[in-house]
A = this chain, B = another copy of it.
Amino acid sequence: MTDETKYLLPENKIPKVWYNIAADLPTPLAPVLHPGTGQPIGPDDLAPLFPMALIGQEVSTEREIEIPEPVRDVLRLWRPALLYRARRLEQALDTPARIYYKYEGVSPSGSHKPNTAVAQAFYNREEGTKRLTTETGAGQWGSSLAFAGRLFGLEVDVYMVKISFNQKPYRRALMEAYGARCVASPSVETNAGRAVLADHPDSNGSLGIAISEAVEMAAQRDDTKYALGSVLNHVLLHQTVIGQEALLQMEMADDFPDVVIGCAGGGSNFAGLAFPFIGRNITKGEKTRIVAVEPAACPTMTRGTFAYDFGDTAHLTPLVKMHTLGSTFVPEGIHAGGLRYHGMSPLVSHILDAGLIEATAQHQVGCFEAGLTFARSEGIIPAPESTHAIKQAVDEALKCKAEGTSKAILFGLSGHGHFDMQAYTDFLAGKLEDHAHDDVALNEAMSHLPDVAAE
**Which residues of A line the B interface, CB within 8 A?**
4-6, 8, 10-11, 76-78, 88, 106-108, 110, 147, 150-151, 169-170, 173-174, 176-179, 372, 375-381, 416, 418-419, 421-422, 424-425, 428
Contacts and interface: CB of A to CB of B under 8 A. Distances in A.
Given A110-B418, A418-B419, A5 B379 contact: no
A170 B5 contact: no
A113 to B, nearest CB: 13
Contacts of A173: 421-422, 424-425, 428
Contact of A178 (B151, B376, B421): B376
A317 B376 CA distance: 33
Contacts of A6: 11, 76
A23 to B, nearest CB: 31
Contacts of A177: 372, 375-376, 381, 421, 424, 428
B379 A174 contact: no
Contacts of A10: 4, 8
A151 B88 contact: yes
A313 to B, nearest CB: 30
A129 to B, nearest CB: 19
Contact of A77 (B5, B107, B179, B416): B5
A177 B110 CA distance: 19
Given A6-B11, A151-B88, A379-B147, A428 B77 contact: no
Contacts of A5: 11, 76-77
A147 B4 CA distance: 21
Nearest to A110: B418
B11 A4 contact: yes
A77 B76 CA distance: 21
B150 A380 contact: no
Nearest to A178: B376
A179 B376 contact: yes
Nearest to A425: B173
A177 B377 CA distance: 11
7 contacts: A4-B10, A170-B421, A173-B422, A174-B424, A176-B424, A176-B428, A416-B418
Contacts of A381: 108, 174, 177
Contacts of A419: 418
Contacts of A377: 151
A117 B109 CA distance: 27
Contacts of A375: 108, 177-178
B418 A380 contact: no
Nearest to A171: B421
Nearest to A381: B177
B78 A379 contact: yes
Given A106-B106, A108-B378, 16 more contacts: A4-B10, A5-B76, A5-B77, A6-B11, A108-B379, A108-B381, A150-B376, A151-B377, A170-B421, A170-B425, A173-B424, A176-B424, A177-B381, A177-B421, A177-B428, A178-B376
Contact of A108 (B176, B380, B422, B428): B380
Nearest to A146: B376
A176 B368 CA distance: 14
Contacts of A380: 108
A119 to B, nearest CB: 15
Nearest to A108: B379
Nearest to A147: B379
A376 B77 CA distance: 12
Nearest to A106: B106
Contacts of A421: 169-170, 173-174, 177
Contacts of A170: 418, 421-422, 425
Contacts of A147: 379
Contacts of A378: 77, 108
Nearest to A75: B5
B425 A169 contact: yes
Nearest to A168: B421
A372 to B, nearest CB: 6
Q: Which 5 A-B pairs have the closest CB atoms?
A: A108-B379, A170-B421, A418-B418, A173-B421, A5-B76
A88 B148 CA distance: 13
Q: Which of A10, A381, A419 has the most CB of B within 10 A?
A: A381
Contacts of A8: 8, 10
